[in-house]
Structures are given as C-alpha cells and as structure tokens.
C-alpha cells in the first residue's frame, strides 16, 4: 500500500479527564498515515481516484471540535474508525493524537497515543442441519452484511454434506463467507455468536445437531489461541465442507499455520 501522510494537524478542542480541560480547551496535534493504492491516481491525475486529504483534515477537525472525550485514546479510536468508514479506498490508518499541554505539573513536550486500525480479510464457515437450514444460513449472512463494521460480504454456494464428528444426525448445509471487518477477532466472534443466538442455537451436545454454526476460519495472517478462539481454525485441513466452499471463494486463501493454500489442503484431503 502507498501512504498519504498528514503531519501535526493543529486543532483546538475540549478533551481531558479534568473539568477545566473540557471548559477551557487546549491544542491537540493529529497525525495520520493513510494507506491506500494511489497507482491509478498517479496515472490519471484525478482526485476521484485517490482521497482528498483536505476533506480528511476537515473531518478530523469536525470530530475533535464537536465531541468532548475524557481520553485521547477515545479520540484516536473515533478518528481512525470514521476515516475508515467514510473513505472506502483507505485500507488502513495509523493515527496519532498528541496533547502538548497535558496537565501533569511537570515539564514535557507532549503526551500522545497512536492507534493502528485497518480492514481485515476474514473467512467464515457456516453450517446448519436443523429446521429451515438455508434460511438460518441466509439470515446469518444478512445479519453480518448489515453490520457497519463489515463490508464486501460474499458467500460461496451452499453444499449438502454428511455430519462430521457425531455422525448420527441429519445432513448439513454448508457454505463459506468472505468479508472485510474493522473488528478484532474477539469482537467478530461476538457478532458470529449473536448470529447463532438469533437462529436459536443451543449448545447441548458437542458436534451435535444445530440450527446454525459459524466458525472463524482465517483472519488475515493471524495465528492466535486462547480459551475462546483458535485462529486459523484448528481442524480446517480435515474438513472438506470448509475447504471446498473456501476454494470457491479463493483457492489461494492462505493458512499461516501450515503455509498451505486452501486448494492445496483440499487436494491433500481428497487424496488421503
């Protein structure tokens, strides 16, 4: 990605923990590294093929002047989020909020916070083997699509598959979904869990029948594990009902844990 840099934009506004800061106000300096592809704009010399940094500066000014935040962390979060939401060409923002007059009763140049926010590429696996299977899946996709922090939601074809693990149950409908999101993995997991709850999901039997199951398969090139999430999905290489629809969306989707593409994993699984 190419970078447009806004350096130390000066804004006078009213942010701080102390009441006096909210009343009297103070100077803030905002810097932003804005990541996007400028190749087309460089060829056409047309502002419509890039982003207008003047507009972004005025957006920053409006947000800073029309809000009162206790923390510069909150200001940085709001600014980066709104820039990413309003300018679809921008894929990533690294934004710094400097507070030169921080009231700490000691000499200093400034206090600042820097946040790094971006649209992350994610692949989900959806499955259902109870009730109106297709409706549960379609409703979940629409629920995710309607969330403002998700964009570019695309779904593979639906396939019918035999149950995995506990085989004494009805067949599943499965698909994969590709999207970009501003959420962290855990916040996206909350969204997918809510989609499952919307479908009346009950977790009574491990690998048992379910109205809806939504798993995060890949999240950028993140490798992560805790008591809630494992990314990439720990068993994706053994699941044709995941790999086949994933290959339909992107055969070169890359598993950073194994170093293999979705198409390579699917070929190995079929061969075995």
Q: What is the DSSP string of the chain?
A: -EEEEEEEEEEEE--SSSHHHHHH-EEEEEEEEEEE--HHHHHH--GGGS--HHHHHHHHHHHHHH---S-HHHHHHHHHHHHHHH-TT--EEEEEEEETT--SSS--S-EEEEEEEEPEEEEEEEEE-SSSHHHHHHHHHHHHHTSTTEEEEEE---EEE--SSS-SSPPEEEEEEEEEESS-HHHHHHHHHHHHHHTT----STT---S-EEEEEEETT--EE-SS-EES-TTGGG-HHHHHHHHHH-TT-EETTTTEEHHHHHHHHHH-
Instruction: State the catalytic residue, choosing from 99, 190, 260, 271.
Output: 99
Q: Is 118 a catalytic residue?
A: no
Catalytically active residues, by annotation: 99
């Amino acid at each position: 990605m190419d970078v447009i840099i806004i350096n130390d934009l000066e804004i006078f506004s009213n942010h701080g923990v102390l009441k006096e800061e909210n009343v009297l106000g103070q100077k803030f300096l905002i810097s932003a590294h804005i990541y996007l592809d400028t190749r087309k704009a460089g060829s056409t010399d047309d502002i419509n093929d890039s982003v207008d940094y003047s507009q972004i500066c005025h957006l920053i000014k409006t947000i800073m002047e029309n809000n009162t935040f206790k923390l510069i962390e909150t200001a940085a979060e709001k600014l980066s989020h709104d820039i990413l939401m309003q300018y679809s060409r921008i894929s990533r923002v690294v934004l710094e909020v400097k507070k030169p007059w921080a009231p700490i009763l000691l000499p200093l140049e400034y206090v600042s916070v820097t946040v790094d926010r971006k649209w992350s590429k994610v692949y989900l696996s959806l499955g259902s083997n109870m009730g109106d299977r297709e409706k549960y899946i379609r409703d979940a996709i629409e629920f995710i699509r309607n969330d403002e922090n998700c964009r570019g939601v695309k779904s593979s074809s639906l396939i019918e598959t035999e149950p995995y693990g506990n085989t004494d149950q009805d067949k599943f409908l499965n698909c994969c979904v590709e999207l970009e999101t501003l959420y962290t993995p855990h916040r996206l997991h909350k969204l997918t869990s809510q989609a499952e709850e919307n479908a009346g999901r009950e977790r009574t039997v491990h690998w048992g029948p379910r109205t809806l199951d939504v798993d995060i398969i890949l999240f950028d090139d993140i490798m992560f594990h805790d008591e809630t999430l494992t990314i990439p999905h720990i068993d994706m290489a053994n699941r044709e009902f995941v790999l086949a629809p994933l290959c339909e969306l992107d055969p070169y989707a890359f598993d950073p844990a194994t170093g293999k593409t979705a198409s390579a994993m699917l070929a190995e699984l079929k061969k075995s």
